[in-house]
Each structure stands twice: as structure tokens, then as C-alpha cells.
Structure 1
């Protein structure tokens, strides 16, 4: 059966926000228990192996979820943007964190302690219902990502990644392009798609030759959104 048009799309960034979708009285009860912290770029919010003692929500900025290859190299898994909540799975499963989360840019987070979360979880049935929807959407995104890997060329997937980054982490520059404000490298892209850095270099060089994207002062810039979308859907 085909997925409905509203099914979540696979992307490096999404702005899923289950707390924001709660009824106002439930959301206000949750936010009343939350405290704010600021995190500088490069600093961790949580590390793999640590106990899950709180749940986080991004208020501003971007953070990266980092895993480890078997040889010890770090791998970018996904990027959290404003609205995203994380660490719920570890708290609910009562296990330690599987991955490390690091600030990519200056970030402000809200956090709720584990005991406060469980008290509200049992008081308001809307919270477990919202989390069920979040987890179902996460599974849908994983399935969409697997489908893309099986049915799309690497060039299409990289083009989709640039479109996703430009949508969620882009700002207009003076020359009419969209500057991606995150420090994404060829190695990061290779990690995301589980391919070699050489394969990424070949596909990105092709996009540069077509004058669809370019690297300018260390940042990626999308020059032609229409042609980028054409490659995504070709």
C-alpha cells in the first residue's frame, strides 16, 4: 500500500515537536517543569553510555546526533533543529544513551528531569499518545530512508539532503543563493549515506559543475533551487 502524501519524508533535519502539539493545558504543565540551558558549539549535551536522566527540547540552534563506527570514528546520524525533542527513548526504555549529542551552533535547550516527566506522563494520557505518534513517525522516516537507499541514485539522495538543509538551516545571501549555516563536510555526507567520501566528492562535484551548489567561504550555498528539486525527483 502506498504511503499517504502526509507521510514523513526522510531528511537530515526535521522539526518534529511533539511537546508543541500537546493540548495547551498539558503543554503548559510540561513547560512549567522545564529549565533552560545554553550550550556552546562543540560541547556535548549528553554522551553515549551516560544514564538518561532528563529529556531535552531544542529552543534555538542546531545539534548533531553522533554515533561511532566499529573503528572508533565518529559518524553524523542526524541534526536536531528548533522544536526537536530528544532522549525520550532512552528515558522510557530505562537505558543509557546510545549516542552522543553535540552542539553544532550556539544552542539553547529546555530540559525536564526524568521524575518530573514520569509524573506528567502518568497524569496526562495525551503525553503517551503524542509519544506514540512521534515514534510511529520516526519508524516511517526510517522506512522512507531505506526506500530512498534502495530506489534512488546517490546523486538524488545528496540533492535531497541539500534541499532539506537549505529549507531548515538556510539563510539568503547577497547573491541570491541560500547559504547553509551548518558545517557539513564530505565526510559527514558519506556517514549519512554510508558511502565512501570519494563517491560523495564525485556527486557533489557534479552539482557544482551544474552550478546548482557551491562552497563559498567555507559554507555550502544552494544556487538553483528549481534544478535541485528536479534532480531530487528525477
Structure 2
């Protein structure tokens, strides 16, 4: 199981929903077609009618929308273990696009296999439903940040969120994680200019909250970063004390 491409998905679902051994085994047997993508490539586009969903195995993807003028707003980042387009099971036409941020390895699962799984295992249906509800919760938190927080606070909040999500699936150690995201992409995510994003990152470093080297981010003062970002992980709905 540990070497299966399904293992990260199982660990992610298990972080938000208590799975039985049988359910983990069934999820591990799902047919998955693994493919690699270069950075900045669309995986699914608005208007598409996909017949499969995908999970992120390596790398970062983003959900985005474009205005009529071609301005991009990133509304979510997805990390290993996530299922970014799970809603395409029931919403047949994509109303947004999903693209790679970094080089990615993705696992594609036919909708037919997911339908069959959900029909046979109602608790797995509930786990997948919970996954989409957590996505919606993250979206609400992002909207609050864009509408009511300053750029410095939005960036601090985003770094807190990514660390917690990456730790939940075991791909971040201690307070350090890989952030393969350009400043332009960060700007599109937090609703600021690239120049402002650069300034905010400098301020976070100068304040002793983070250290960065290449794509590596190290959190130097977790409590102060949480305070700066007004970060409460409640909206991530991670299991606490074994309870979903």
C-alpha cells in the first residue's frame, strides 16, 4: 500500500474521515493511470466534460478563473493527496480550469470506477463528499482573506495553511516545506501585485517569521506567523483525537 499511487489519496481522506482497513484496501485497488505534466499546463479547462478525476501525487496544482480581460484569479492550490476536480463526478461541465503550478505527477481515475465504488461503499461516498466540503470551506476562508485581510496577513495565512495541509499527508517535515510557486502565482492567489508580493515576503523574513531558500520555506516562529495570518485551522476540518 505504501508504494501504491493511491497511498497519498488514502492518507489525505483518512486525515479528514476515519477509514476502516477494508475501505483503505478498496481505495488502494482503484485503477489509476499515472501521468507527468510540465509546469503551467492546463489539466482540465472551463467547458470541458471530463470522464475521469485526478489526484495529485507530486507537485502543486491550482484552480483558476479568468476575467474577460484575461486577468487570472487563483482560487485554490492543491497539494499531494488532493483530488482537485472531484466535483466533475456530478457537475458535468467544468466551470473553472485546473493547471499545474510546478512539474506534477498526477493519477487519473475513471469516473465509472468512482461511481461503482460509491455505490458499493456508502462510507467512502461520505468521505469523498467531505473532501469536497473541505474544499468549499477553504474557498470561504480564502474569500474572507481577499476581502478583509491585508496582503501581509493573507500571505502569512497562506503559508500557515500550506504547512498544515502538507504535514497532514506527510510531505512536510518539522516547520519546513517546499513551495514551488512563483511570485506571480502567489500574487494571483492573494489578489496583489507581484511587486507587493515580493515586498510582503521581504517583510515576513525581516520580521523573523520565515526563512526562504529557493523553493524551500522554513517557518521560524509558528505562533507569530499564525497571529499575523489570523490563522485558525478549524476550516481545514482535520481529524482530532481520532474523530472525523
For normalisation by structure 1, the TM-score amounts to 0.72
Equivalent position to 1:192, from 189, 192, 197: 189
In 1, are the aligned partners of 2:76 and 2:139 still within 8 Å (CA)? no
Root-mean-square deviation (CA), in Å?
3.3
Equivalent position of 1:204 in the other structure: 201
Counterparts of 1:51-130 in structure 2 under 5 Å? 51-58=49-56, 60-70=57-67, 71-96=69-94, 98-102=96-100, 104-107=102-105, 109-130=106-127
Alignment match of 1:222 (pick from 218, 221, 237): 218
Q: CA deviation at 1:89?
A: 0.5
Change (3 A) 1:22 1:92: farther
For 2:131 and 2:218, the matched residues in 1 are separated by 30
Structure 1 moving runs of 4+ over 6 Å: none
Contact 1:186/1:200, CA 8 A, preserved across alignment: yes
Q: Distance in 1 between matches of 2:227 and 2:101?
A: 32
Q: Deviations over 1:182-229 (max 9, x none)?
A: 32222212111122233323322322332433543x335336224433
Q: 2 CA distance for matches of 1:197 and 1:103?
A: 16
| Partner-residue secondary structure (3-state), 1:17 | helix
Evaluate the alpha carbon distance shift between residue 201 and residue 106 of structure 1 in structure 2; reply closer, same or farther with a 3 A threshold: closer
Return the TM-score normalized by structure 2.
0.69
Aligned residue-pair number: 212
CA contact (8 A) 1:64 1:77 kept: no
Structure 2 residues not aligned, in runs of 5+: 1-10, 232-244
Task: Go from structure 1 to structure 2 and tell me whether the alpha carbon gap of 1:17 and 1:193 turns closer, same or farther (over 3 Å shift).
Answer: same
CA distance in 2, matches of 1:26, 1:41: 33
Unaligned runs of 5+ in 1: 1-14
1:140 pairs with 2:132: no
Q: Is 2:145–2:154's contact at 8 Å kept on the other side of the alignment?
A: yes
